[in-house]
Amino acid sequence: MIHLTIDNKPIEVAEGRTLLEACREHGIHIPTLCYHPALEPYGGCRLCVVEVSMGGRKPRLVASCVYPCEEGAVVQTQSETVVRSRRITAELILAGSYHTPEILALGEELGVKEVRFKLDEENACVLCGLCVRACNEIVGVSAISVIQRGIAKKVATPFEVKSSRCIGCGTCVLICPTVAFRFESVAGFQYVSPKESAYHLGYYRLGGELDLRPNFVQDIAGLLSHEPRAAGEPGKQVGDSYDR
Amino acid sequence: MQVSVSEINDIINKEAMGDGSLIAALEEIQERYRYLPAEALILASERLGVPLSQAYSVATFYNAFSLKPKGKHCLHVCMGTACHVRGSPQVLERLESKLGIKAGETTRDHLFTLETVNCLGACALGPIVVTDGEYSGQMTSQKVDALLKAVLRVEAET
Amino acid sequence: MTQLQSIAEFQSWQQALAAAWDETRPCLRVCDGTGCRALGSQKVLAALRDEIRQAQLDTPIEVVGTGCPGFCECGPLITIYPQRISYQKVRLQDVPEIVAQTLSKGKILDRLLYTDPLSGEHIKLEPELPFYQRQKRLVLDFNGRIDPTKIEDYIALGGYTALAKVLGSMTPEQVIAEVKAAGLRGRGGAGFPTGAKWQLCRDNVLKVGQGYIVCNADEGDPGAFMDRSVVEGNPHSVIEGMLIGAYAMGVHQGFVYIRAEYPLAIENLKIAIRQAEAAGLLGKDILGSGFDFTLGVRLGAGAFVCGEETALMASIEGRIGEPRPRPPYPAEAGLWGKPTNINNVKSWATIPIIINKGADWYASIGTEKSKGTLIFSVVGKINNTGLVEVPMGISLRQLIFDIGGGIPKGKAFKAAQIGGPSGGCLPAEHLDVPMDYESLTALGAIVGSGGLVVADEDTCMVDFARYFMNFTQEESCGKCVPCRIGTKAMLSTLERICAGKGQPGDVEYLLELAQAVKNSSLCGLGQTAPNPVLTTIRYFRDEYDAHIFDKKCPAKVCKGLITYSINAEKCNGCMVCLRNCTSGAISGAKREVHVIDNNLCTRCGVCLNVCKFEAVEVN
C-alpha cells in the first residue's frame, strides 16, 4: 500500500494507482475532460492538475490522471495555484468553443468570468481525443485519428473522406463530452459524421450483415489495376469502391 | 511526374525488410516525388503494419511531408533568429510579393514553391535563401529579384 | 579495412597512425562545413587541388576538407600547415595567388589575414587569433584538424582509445562512477547529471534485460548549429561516446536521431558508422571483448517538438511527435516500453574525453556545480559569428566582447537571448553573469543547447518576443490545452501590441497566461515557451509600455508604429527607390524630391536598402 497526504488528509491506496484514481476512491472531486476509466489516460486537457510536493521540495502542478501515487507525496487539489490554473485552462478551452453548452458549464464550475481571447473558428470538438482513443483501444478499428499539428489539429478520417474502416458502432458519438458528432438514421442506414464536417465518417445498414473483411485488399487492388496517373490529379478516393 | 505504384511498393518493401520505419519510408517517397501520393500511405500502412489513420496523422503532422505536389523549384527562406535579426522578413515579403503566393504555397504554374525554414545553421551569412539546395547568403530585397531572374533564365533555356 | 579482432590489434594500429600523423608536414586544411560550403568552400577546395597539381611544387602539399572550426564570420577558412597561417574570407579568385605566392614562395597575402577591428593589426597565425585564445576547445578540438570522412584521422589523434580502455580495463560500474565524478550535466539544455541518469537506466536494464540509447541530434533551436558541427566535423566522437555509454548501461542497440535539415551531417555520420563497422568497432564482439553494439540513424521530419525526448521516441516508433507525460521517465520505460537513455550530441562527444583525461581533470574545469565546457553558437548582431567553446563560468561580457568581438557598426549591446525559444533575454545590466546552469536560471534564462543571439539598440524587444512566440506556437504539437491555445492567445496579444493595437492590461494578461502555460503544459516546449515573453517584460517593460500607451516602437521596427519618409535635403531625385517600391507608394519625377505616401507604404524596407544617399528615414 502507498501512503500519501491529499488535502491534508492521510490517504492509503493500493500500488499502481494514479492520483486521480486515489482521489475518486476517497470522494475528492477533480474535474476532467479527456479522462475515461476505460481508456489509457491521455494527460491532454490539463484540467485535472493538482499540486504535488515530494520530500519537502517546491510543489509543482501535475496531471493527476497520469501521475502515479508515490510514498510520502503531499498533494493539494484546491490550492490557489490549482484553482487558478484550472480556471485559465477552462477559459482557453472556451476560446475555441464559446457556444458549446457543456464547455460553458465547465467554465462556470471553474470560475471563468470572461473569455478574453477567442479563436477565429469555433468548434464543438475540444480535441480531448476520447473518440480517437476509443476507436483505437476499445473498438480496435482506428478509423479516425487526430491530424495536423498545433492549433490546426482536428479529428478526421484518412484523406478526410468516408472511412473504409468505420463500422458505424457509434462509440465516438457516445463517448464525446460535447456531442461533436452527429448520429442520424436515414432510410435504413445509420450515419455517423463529425458535426462540422462535410463528409460522413461511415455508415452501417441497420439490420443488415456487417462485412468485417479488411477493406484494404479491395482498395489497393482497385488502385493497382489503374493506369499510372499524373501526380496531382485527383485519383479515386479511398473507400469509393467500397459498398456495404 | 508519373506516380508508379510498383516503385512505391519497392521503397516500402525495402524498409519493411530493414528497420520498418514508417517515417523513413515516407521520407524516401517524399524525396522521390516531392509529395506523398495516397498510394504511398495506403501501401505503407499495409506493409508496415500501421493503421492508415496513423499513417495519415504522421503525413500531416511533420513539416517534411506534403500531400500536394511541390513546385519545380523550391525556395526556402531561413527564418532563424540570426537571419530574422538581419532582415529575413523583408526578404520573405519580397519573394511573396514577386511570386504572388504566401509561404507554404506553390505558384499556379507549379514552377515555384516558397517555404520558410527554421534555421539552416549558416548564421554568419544571414539572411539566407536556399534555391533547390543552393545557398544564397546576405540576401536583400534587391538580390531576391536577381535570384528569381536567374532561375527564370535557366527555365527559359531548357 | 580489416576488422580488428582484439584490443591489442587496435592499439598497434592506433600507434602506427599516431606516429604517421605529422602536423609539421605541409598541408592546407580548409573548412568544409555547411556554413563555409554556403560561402563556396567546395569550389575553393577544388580550385586549390587543381592549382596545386598544375603548379608542381617542390614539396607535396596535401589539401584536406575539415569540419567547422567555428570562426564562421570569416569563412571560407584555410589554415596553412605547418606554420598554421590563417587565411580568411577566401574567394575563388584568390586561389591562384595563394598557390603562386604563399605556397611556392612563402609570401603572405595580407588582405586574406584577420584584421583586428580595433587596432587594425593583421594577425597571421591561427593560435594567435583572439577569437580562439579565450576558448577551451575540448569537444571542438578535432574540428578543423581532421577529415571527418576518414576514421584513420580520428584514430591518429587518439580516437577510440577511450573505448579500448573501457573494454579492456573498466567495468560498467566504474565507467558510470567516472562520469558521475566528472560532474558532466546534460548538454541538451536541462543540465541533468549525466552519471545519475546513466545509473537509473542501467538499474532498469538489469531488471528488464533490454534497453536502448539515443543521441538527440534534432537541434531545433533557430540560430544553433553546434550539434551539427560536431556531427559534421567529428562524427566518430559521438559514436565512441555512445559505445562507451552502451557498455556502461548494458544495452546493445542505439539510434542517432538527427534532423533531416542537416544533409552533410547525416552523410558524414553514415560514412563514419560504415567505417566503424568495417573496422569492427561497431557490431558483434567489439575488439574481442564480447560486447555487441549496433547504431542506427533515424531522421527527423521537420518538427521542433521532436527535440523533446518523449516526442523524439514517439517519432522513432513511427508515430506523431506528441510528448508523453513523465513519469514514467525514459530510463524506466522509453522506446517500445524499454529503458532508454537519451543524451545530446555534445554530452556523448564529451564521454571519450572524460575517460581519457580522467574525471578529476574534467571536474577541474568550470565552476563548482557546472563542470566542463559549453559550446555556444554566437549569432545575431555580433562581429564574430560562430561557434565558441568556453569553460563554464566565463562571463557573458567576455563571450560577447572578448571572443565575439563586440557589436558591429559601433552599436550598443541591448540583450542576449540565451537558450533559444525556451530561454530568456538578458540585458546589459547582467553582462557579468557567469555562464553556468544555476546563475542563468536565476535570471530567467537557461543554458539550453547553447544558442546565444545578440540584439543591439536597433532590435525591438517586443518584436523579439513575438518572433519566439510565433516559433513555439507554430511548433506546438497541439496535444495539451495550455500550449495549443495558450501560446496562440499570447502570440495574438503580442501581434496586436506590435501592430499598435495594444491595450492597457495586455501586459498583465500576458503575465497571467505565461504563468499558466509555464505551470500546466505537458512538456518542456510549453513549459518554456513563455520564457522570452517573461524575460522581455521583466527587463524591457518600458518598451512594452511605449508600444501600448504611446503607440511608439522605440527601436523603430514594428511596422504599425513607424513611418518612412524621404529627407528632402538628401534626396537627389534619382528614382531608384520609386522603381523598387513594391506598393507604388513613392512618387516624384526625375531630379525632384520624392515623397512616400504612408497610406500605401508597407514598410518593407526596400527603399532604405537601395537609396545611396541615405535619404530614407524611419520615424
B42 close to A (CB below 8 A) = yes
Q: Which of A47, A85, A151 sits opposite C484 (nearest CB)?
A: A151
C544 in Cβ contact with C493 (< 8 Å):
no
Of B62, B80, B87, Cβ closest to residue C303: B62
Question: What is the sign, positive or negative, of the torsion defined by CA atoms of C544, C549, C554, C560?
Answer: positive
Asked if A172 has any chain C CB less than 8 Å from its own CB, the reply is no
Asked whether the beta carbons of A131 and A175 are under 8 A apart, the reply is yes
What share of residues in chain B are helix, strand, coil (percent, to 5)? 50, 15, 35
What are the chain A neighbours of B110 within 8 Å (beta carbons)?
Answer: 232
Q: Is A231's CB within 8 Å of B37's CB?
A: yes
Smallest Cα distance from A77 to chain B, Å: 35
d(CA A77, CA A6): 7
Question: Is the model's pLDDT at B25 over the cut of 90?
Answer: yes
Q: Is the dihedral of CA C108, C109, C112, C118 positive or negative?
A: positive
What residue ranges do the domains of chain B occupy? 5-61, 73-157
Q: Provide the pLDDT for residue A202.
A: 57
The CATH number assigned to the domain holding C39 equals 3.40.30.10
- Dist CA C593 CA C601 (whole Å): 17
Quick one: C62 and C167 in the same domain? Answer: no
* Residue in chain A nearest B55 by alpha carbon: A158
How far out from the chain centre does Cα A57 lie?
33
What is the interface pTM, i.e. ipTM, of the complex? 0.89
The residues of A whose Cβ lies within 8 A of any Cβ of B are 136, 142-149, 157-159, 165, 216, 219-220, 223-224, 228-232, 235, 238
Pairwise CB contact (< 8 Å): B39 & A158: no
Q: Read off the pTM.
A: 0.89
**Given CB atoms, is A133 within the 8 Å cutoff of chain C?**
no
Query: Nearest-CA distance from C516 to chain A in Å?
Result: 6
C319 by Cβ neighbours in 10 Å (0-12 / 13-18 / 19+) ranks as middle
B41 touches chain A (CB under 8 A): yes
What local confidence, expressed as pLDDT, does residue C349 receive? 98
**Of C121, C119, C96, C126, which is closest to residue C110 (Cα–Cα)?**
C121
Suggest the residue from A132, A139, A147, A151 to mutate for an interface test with chain B (most B CBs closer than 10 A): A147
Q: Which residues of C254-284 are buried (b: 16+ CB within 10 A; e: fewer)?
A: bbbbbbbbbebbbebbeebbebbeebbbbee
Write down how long chain C is.
619
Distance of CA B133 to the CA centre of its chain: 10
Sort out which chain A residues have CB atoms less than 8 A from B45's CB and list them: 216
Phi-psi region of A87 (alpha: psi -120 to 50; beta: other; left: phi over 0): alpha
* Adjacency order of strands within the sheet including C451-456: C386-391, C373-380, C451-456, C413-418, C424-427
Phi–psi pair at C66, nearest 5 degrees: -110, 180
**C167 and C253 part of one domain:** yes
Indicate yes or no: CB of B141 within 8 angstroms of CB of C298.
no
Residue A66, chain C, CB below 8 Å: the answer is yes
Reference B85, options A165, C21, C454, C181; nearest CA is C454
pLDDT digits (tens, 9 = 90+) for A147-194: 999 999 999 888 888 777 887 777 887 888 887 776 666 555 556 666
For residue B85, pLDDT over 60 is answered with yes
pLDDT value at position A244?
A: 23
In chain A, residues under CATH classification 3.30.70.20 are: 130-187
| Residue of C32, C214, C225 best to disrupt the B interface, most CBs of B under 10 A | C225
Dist CA B52 CA A168 (whole Å): 18
Residue C13 domain flag:
no
Contact check, Cβ <8 Å, B63/C302:
yes
Q: Domain check: are C511 and C578 in the same one? A: no
CATH superfamily of the B73-157 domain = Glutaredoxin (3.40.30.10)
C302, C609, C610 ranked by CB distance to B64: nearest: C302
Q: Give Rg (Cα) of chain C.
A: 26
Asked if residue A127 lies in contact with residue A153, where contact means CB atoms within 8 angstroms, the answer is yes
pLDDT single digits (tens) B6-21? 888 899 988 888 777 8
Nearest to C216 by CA among C325, C336, C334: C334
Question: Which residue ranges in chain C fall short of pLDDT 50?
Answer: none
Percent with pLDDT over 90 in chain A: 55
Q: Contacts from C93-101 at CB under 8 Å and sequence distance 24+?
A: C95/C44, C95/C47, C95/C48, C95/C51, C96/C51, C98/C48, C98/C51, C99/C48, C99/C51, C99/C52, C99/C55, C99/C57, C100/C55
Say if CB C342 and CB C363 are below 8 A apart: no
pLDDT at residue A182, rounded to an integer: 67
Q: Are residues C195 and C312 in the same domain?
A: yes
Contact A43, C482 (CB under 8 A): no
| A28, pLDDT greater than 50 | yes
Confidence band (pLDDT; 50, 70, 90) for A205? Answer: very low
Say yes or no: A153 contacts chain C, CB-CB below 8 A. yes
Q: Give the lowest-confidence range in A78-82, A203-207, C383-387.
A: A203-207
Contact B5 A228 (CB under 8 A): yes
Q: Which residues of C touch A68 (CB under 8 A)?
A: 327
pLDDT at A191: 63
What is the count of residue pairs from A and C with beta carbons less than 8 Å apart?
90
Q: Would the pLDDT of A52 be above 90?
A: yes
| Residue A241, pLDDT score | 30
**The CATH number of the domain where C506 resides is what?**
1.20.1440.230
Does residue C194 sit in the same domain as residue C262?
yes
Best probe of the C interface among A15, A88, A132, by most C CBs < 10 A, is A88
**Cα–Cα nearest to C167, from C11, C383, C382:** C11
Co-location of C40 and C107 in the same domain: yes
Co-location of C445 and C573 in the same domain = no
Beta bridge partners of C434: C395
| Closest C-alpha among A123, A127, A94 to residue A108 | A94
- C90, C167: one domain: no
Expressed as residue numbers, the domain containing C265 is 151-362
Residue B78 pLDDT class (50, 70, 90 cuts): confident
Give yes or no for residue A225 having a pLDDT over 60: no
In this structure, the answer to whether residues C434 and C472 fall within a common structural domain is no
Q: State the smallest CA–CA distance between residue B83 and chain C in angstroms.
A: 7
For A130-187, which CATH class?
alpha beta
CATH of the domain at C427: 3.10.20.600
C111: Cβ contacts below 8 Å, ≥ 6 apart? none
DSSP state of C202: H
CATH 3.10.20.740 maps onto chain A at 1-122
Nearest by Cα to B138 from B129, B147, B151:
B129
Q: Is C481 on the interface with A (CB under 8 A)?
A: yes
Q: Confirm or reject contact between B53 and chain A (CB < 8 A).
A: yes
For chain C, helix, strand, coil in percent to 5 are: 45, 15, 40
Least confident of A9-23, A210-224, C14-28, C503-517: A210-224
In this structure, the answer to whether residues C357 and C220 fall within a common structural domain is yes
Give the one of A144, A147, A223 whose C-beta lies nearest to B60's C-beta. A147
CA–CA distances in Å: residue C73 to residues B118, C389, C558: 20, 16, 28
C-alpha cell at B144: 531576391
Is A63 within 8 Å of C325 when comparing Cβ atoms? yes
Pairing of strands B73-78, B112-117: parallel
Is B3 in the A-facing interface, judged by CB distances under 8 Å?
yes
Distances in Å between the alpha carbon of C97 and those of B62, C100, C102, C103, C104? 48, 5, 7, 9, 10
A62-79: average pLDDT:
96
The C-alpha atoms of residue C83 and residue C86 are separated, in whole angstroms, by 9
Q: pLDDT value at position C199?
A: 98
CATH code linked to domain A1-122? 3.10.20.740
At residue B139, the pLDDT reads: 86
End-to-end CA distance of chain B: give it in Å, rounded: 17
A116 → closest Cβ in C303, C481, C509: C509
Same domain, C90 and C181: no
Cα–Cα distance, A204 to A166 (Å, whole number): 9
The domain boundary residue, chosen from C408, C432, C456:
C456
Question: Is the per-residue pLDDT at A210 higher than 50?
Answer: no
Is C603 found in the same domain as C525?
no
pLDDT score of A229 more than 50: no
Residue of C nearest to B145 (CA): C580
Judge: B81–C602 Cβ closer than 8 Å, yes or no. Answer: no
Looking at residue C273, its amino acid is I
Residue C467 lies in a domain: yes
Total domain count, chain C: 5
